[in-house]
Amino acid sequence: MKRPHLCEFTVHCAEDLEDIRRTYNASLDSMTKPLRPVESLAGQVDWWLDAYPPKRVWIIRDMEYAFVGFVTLTDRHGFETPLFAIAPEHRGKGYARWFIEFYIMVAYGALAGEQLQSNEIICRLNKEAGWEIIGSKDGVDFLYHPGRSREQINDYFQPRMK
Ligand SMILES: CC(C)(COP(=O)(O)OP(=O)(O)OC[C@H]1O[C@@H](n2cnc3c(N)ncnc32)[C@H](O)[C@@H]1OP(=O)(O)O)[C@@H](O)C(=O)NCCC(=O)NCCS
């Protein structure tokens, strides 16, 4: 499959937070913990202002500048935990791998994650992306990823090694 043309942006207006709220609420069934919907934009603004532990948040858009989904990385003191969701109208377009590659690229190092064993798509894509299962309980796998690969670090040095 061709690599999709997607681009990342930071959150800079209320519409961005509304898009995140809508997509988050549409994805609660896929999360590994029971989470409640955020009922209003004000609630989503509170999440943005009060997020602790600190999070880095990206909005992902397509070439028409349409909101496709969001990614968060939460600082866990020495490693990060990712979360992403694709807006319902953009699912099934082959974007999921791009999201996983993106958060691995921007992570500062090792990652910890969780997956629902019942979410076959995510389990397969996570395995392909190098996530390792280190334990499981009640239908949830606990995962480790080392972060960017040696090859990716090599790409960083390439211009100076020519
Ligand atoms: C899970 C999720 C990320 C998948 O995204 P998507 O856009 O539907 O998936 P893609 O179109 O990129 O497809 C990825 C793979 O899944 C397969 N797939 C997608 N929808 C499928 C379906 N309904 N049935 C079977 N396979 C499916 C695709 O064929 C593709 O596999 P392939 O490229 O090896 O052939 C998306 O549904 C989502 O955001 N869900 C809610 C939040 C979530 O689960 N986040 C991840 C955990 S934090």
Tens digits of residue pLDDT in 105-154: 999 999 999 999 999 999 999 999 999 999 999 999 999 999 998 888 89
Crossing angle of the two packed helices 41-50 and 14-25, in degrees rounded to 10: 100
Tens digits of residue pLDDT in 89-108: 999 999 999 999 999 999 99
CA of 89 to the centre of ligand 1 (A): 12
Residue whose Cα lies nearest atom 44 of ligand 1: it is 30
Q: How far is CA 34 from CA 47, 52, 98, 100, 146, in A?
A: 17, 18, 26, 22, 27
Which atom of ligand 1 lies closest to the CA of 92? 11
Tokens 């800079």, residue located: 12
- Domains detected in the chain: 6-161 (3.40.630.30)
Q: Per DSSP, what are the bridge partners of residue 48?
A: none
Sign of CA dihedral 73, 104, 93, 63: positive
CA of 152 to the centre of ligand 1 (A): 25
Beta strands in the chain (DSSP E): 6-9, 55-62, 67-75, 80-86, 111-116, 132-137, 140-145
Tens digits of residue pLDDT in 68-84: 999 999 999 999 999 99
Helix H or strand E segment including 18: helix 14-25
Model pTM score: 0.91
Which atom of ligand 1 lies closest to the CA of 98? 12
Q: Tell me how far the alpha carbon of residue 138 is from its chain's centroid.
A: 23
